Chain A
């Protein structure tokens, strides 16, 4: 089976302005959402307690709310269904430091009149740990980006690195925007998903850039736009196919992986789509805007080759005993 058979290159660069505008609008909207609505931090980052309770039969949610509200400390607690009608999740901002009777034990006592239930999960994060996790999370994001920047600069050129990191930020920002838009709770696993998007979207971009790097060496045409067009066209089938297989598995994860990792799989789902779009339509135009010079790159490459040859020559001479 073959889906992608292009005899001629697509002319993507001529439309780069439109895609640029689309991306800027999407990123702008996402930033707006993040700034105005803000993240819905889960207990991992905000601190607090989450209790997941499963009832035999449907959970009497009104009764549960009433039972919990009896205790003044938990007036602000929220109760929501979780995955099915039998399960609920209770979230409160309070956490307890004492090891003995803690928030979950109190919940158990409060709920004792609401029916036959089983406490299936308790997550309790102190405020101090929460802020520590947030700091660590941000730190890991930054470190990953810096690491990638260094590696790509080393393997390609700084403009490639900058373009790939800008494409990355584009993807992560839009994914975060979607997380805010759909009110997904931001926990450690959401962060893991964002970091995976970082790796994944970069993976896609690198494949395209690798082809452009190759194109610069092999394609006679000195026009960067044309080189990019041809390279993107040639990698189009691969980009789409890989995205498709990844999309398949993330979709199964989203549909069948269970409620607990839904935030994670949703974020990934958005990331895969945006990442694919950006590696085709966003990353390469950035390279153009950064005024990447084909001839300059070629000169540098030629210089590198020349130096290598000289070194070899020296070595040969050394081995022959001429020096």
Chain B
């Protein structure tokens, strides 16, 4: 009989593999792939966000209207009455019939995904259904990118921002210390950061106090509130330009040492801004952020260079967060919370402690029980169990998997269930020994007889785990993952591994000491 067989070699290989790759996770060293702790164990914020995509459509329409205005002005096409209608379309009139052909060409070149309908000199521009869908999808994608940029700039450790399903965004931020910090992060994410520079309607602004929303609309205006005071402004509905032309935003201080935000515009923005200020001397321009007027300075002269300042009574933190939000771009549509789970770091530590105690205690109970009941056969099973644990950790480390609290429970449960294979095998071997078969034959037949049962049982458990993984969310996925890995690993350690160990030990097994080796009273005839 060979002393070493392929099964033992495979098992030792698996054990070494398990040990080597679980070391980085166990020691929490900086190098090497390791298991990440779930937010429920290390503390942090988990959120599932949705977006109001209808707002993205509205703002796309608005920017279309601004483009029409800009293009017509630039090409000196005489137009009138540009309006945004409630059915998400833009209507306008062209005064000179000779311009219509040129206007149509320009619009089809400048604005994509729209249908232009003509009724005499009145035109209506509407988005195609595909364009509407594209805009919605774009809004989600843009929200994911923007939120990611903001969190990265905020300087947090490894935030996760990912699209989930068709229309949801998953945000996970580990390592938040206090509830107040958490609230600040939530506000940073939520900030629309929609910057607009808008012309004050100086002809009608005097009547703003008594004007209704609809009346304002009929003039192509909107009423906006001041950010700090109850003061109202009447501004043109179509903005001069918006935050999409912004290149940088920084916190600075004004002459009173108050925090302000300085931002620069790109070339196109600077040109539009310069042109507008040149023709609007003596009028006011409102700096509007998220539909609140921060300031409305008088234009004294043409402003070139594209540098603008937002002042307001900011706290320094607020100005800092706002600058981040402006730099990383506006959210095309507001985000809403659909699910939020936040765990403080101290609770996470408590959970780790509690589940570790359960793991160690459960493990010890099983190990001791197996040795008491099966003798050396129990020790063999325990060795396989230990290898199984390391293997689970190693595989999870290699995949960079996340360990959650239910995941810990999954490992604990695996400990209870992984010895099952060995219980089945040992019982089979005992049966055969009782029947008086030789030790070698008992072992081989025991493994053969037990194999189908173990296989079928494990596969059915695996089916349940996989379903749980596919349909589960968040932490539950972690449970299904550790269970599945545990089951698969146990097939290697508990079946192949222990079989190899028996084959290796076989020459040493004394048939007169079956009590020591298998925990039974010897009845052997041979």
Q: A residues touching B (Cβ–Cβ < 8 Å)?
A: 1-2, 52, 54, 95-102, 104-105, 108, 118-126, 128-129, 133, 136-137, 139-140, 143-144, 147-148, 151-152, 155, 188-189, 191-192, 195-196, 198-200, 202-204, 206-207, 210-211, 214, 234-235, 237-238, 241-242, 244-250, 252-253, 255-258, 260-261, 264-265, 268
**Is B108's CB within 8 Å of the partner chain A?**
no
Contact A120/B456 with A196-B413, A256-B354 known, Cβ cut-off 8 Å: no
Stretch at the interface among B109-117, B123-131, B319-327, B341-349: B341-349
**Is B302's CB within 8 Å of the partner chain A?**
no
* A98 CB contact (under 8 Å) in B47, B337, B458: B337
Q: Are B346 and A120 in contact (CB under 8 A)?
A: yes
Q: Are A249 and B415 in contact (CB under 8 A)?
A: yes
Q: Which residues on the B side are within 8 Å of A2 (C-beta)? A: 430, 519-521
Q: Are A140 and B406 in contact (CB under 8 A)?
A: no
**Is B483's CB within 8 Å of the partner chain A?**
yes
* B416 CB contact (under 8 Å) in A128, A189, A207, A248: A248
Q: Are B355 and A199 in contact (CB under 8 A)?
A: no
Q: Which residues on the A side are within 8 Å of B351 (C-beta)? A: 258, 260
Contact A133/B463 with A122-B342, A195-B468, A264-B406 known, Cβ cut-off 8 Å: no
Q: Which residues on the A side are within 8 Å of B463 (C-beta)? A: 144, 147-148, 151, 199
User: A137-B471, A249-B413, A256-B358 provided; 20 other pairs, C-beta below 8 A?
Assistant: A1-B372, A105-B183, A121-B343, A126-B338, A140-B471, A147-B464, A155-B456, A196-B464, A199-B483, A202-B464, A203-B457, A242-B417, A246-B417, A247-B416, A249-B365, A252-B412, A255-B358, A257-B354, A257-B409, A258-B354
How many contacts between A and B, using CB within 8 angstroms?
Answer: 246
Contact A199/B460 with A133-B473, A143-B467, A265-B409 known, Cβ cut-off 8 Å: yes
Q: Which residues on the B side are within 8 Å of A255 (C-beta)? A: 358
Return 28 A-B CB contacts under 8 Å, by A number.
A1-B373, A2-B521, A52-B347, A97-B337, A118-B346, A123-B340, A125-B339, A126-B337, A126-B339, A139-B471, A140-B470, A144-B463, A189-B479, A199-B463, A200-B417, A203-B457, A204-B457, A206-B456, A207-B457, A210-B457, A242-B423, A245-B423, A249-B416, A253-B355, A255-B358, A256-B361, A257-B354, A260-B40
* B355 CB contact (under 8 Å) in A155, A207, A245, A261: A261
**Is B189's CB within 8 Å of the partner chain A?**
yes
Q: Are B339 and A144 in contact (CB under 8 A)?
A: no
The smallest C-beta distance from B479 to any residue of chain A, in angstroms, reads 5
CA distance A309 to B275 in the complex (A): 92
Name the residue on A nearest B168 (C-beta).
A129
CA distance A155 to B350 in the complex (A): 45
Contact A140/B467 with A105-B183, A246-B417, A256-B357 known, Cβ cut-off 8 Å: yes
CA distance A214 to B448 in the complex (A): 12
Q: Are A210 and B339 in contact (CB under 8 A)?
A: no
Q: Are B521 and A199 in contact (CB under 8 A)?
A: no
Q: Are B413 and A97 in contact (CB under 8 A)?
A: no
Q: Are B461 and A203 in contact (CB under 8 A)?
A: yes
CA distance A65 to B457 in the complex (A): 50
CA distance A237 to B429 in the complex (A): 13
Q: Are B467 and A147 in contact (CB under 8 A)?
A: yes
The smallest C-beta distance from A1 to any residue of chain B, in angstroms, reads 5
Q: B residues touching A (Cβ–Cβ < 8 Å)?
A: 40, 47-49, 179, 183, 186-187, 189-190, 335-344, 346-347, 350-351, 354-355, 357-358, 361-363, 365-366, 369-370, 372-374, 405-406, 409, 412-413, 415-417, 419-420, 423-424, 427, 430-431, 449, 452-453, 456-465, 467-468, 470-476, 479-480, 483, 519-521
Q: Are A121 and B461 in contact (CB under 8 A)?
A: no
Q: Which residues on the A side are within 8 Å of B467 (C-beta)? A: 140, 143-144, 147, 195
CA distance A123 to B405 in the complex (A): 15
Q: Are B460 and A206 in contact (CB under 8 A)?
A: yes
* B341 CB contact (under 8 Å) in A97, A124, A203, A214: A124
Q: Are B475 and A188 in contact (CB under 8 A)?
A: yes
Counting from the closest, the 9 A-B pairs by CB-CB distance are A99-B190, A249-B362, A258-B354, A199-B464, A140-B471, A246-B416, A210-B453, A199-B461, A249-B416
Contact A248/B475 with A98-B337, A196-B483 known, Cβ cut-off 8 Å: no
Q: Which residues on the A side are within 8 Å of B337 (C-beta)? A: 95-99, 102, 124, 126
Q: Which residues on the B side are within 8 Å of A234 (C-beta)? A: 431
CA distance A63 to B205 in the complex (A): 52
The smallest C-beta distance from B143 to any residue of chain A, in angstroms, reads 12
Q: Are B186 and A118 in contact (CB under 8 A)?
A: no
Q: Which residues on the B side are within 8 Å of A1 (C-beta)? A: 372-374, 519
Q: Are B461 and A129 in contact (CB under 8 A)?
A: no
Q: Are B406 and A198 in contact (CB under 8 A)?
A: no
The smallest C-beta distance from A140 to any residue of chain B, in angstroms, reads 4
Q: Which residues on the A side are within 8 Å of B370 (C-beta)? A: 245
Contact A121/B347 with A246-B413, A256-B357, A256-B358 known, Cβ cut-off 8 Å: yes
Q: Which residues on the A side are within 8 Å of B354 (C-beta)? A: 256-258
Among A128, A203, A214, max chain B CB count under 10 A is at: A203
The smallest C-beta distance from B380 to any residue of chain A, in angstroms, reads 15
Q: Are B412 and A249 in contact (CB under 8 A)?
A: yes
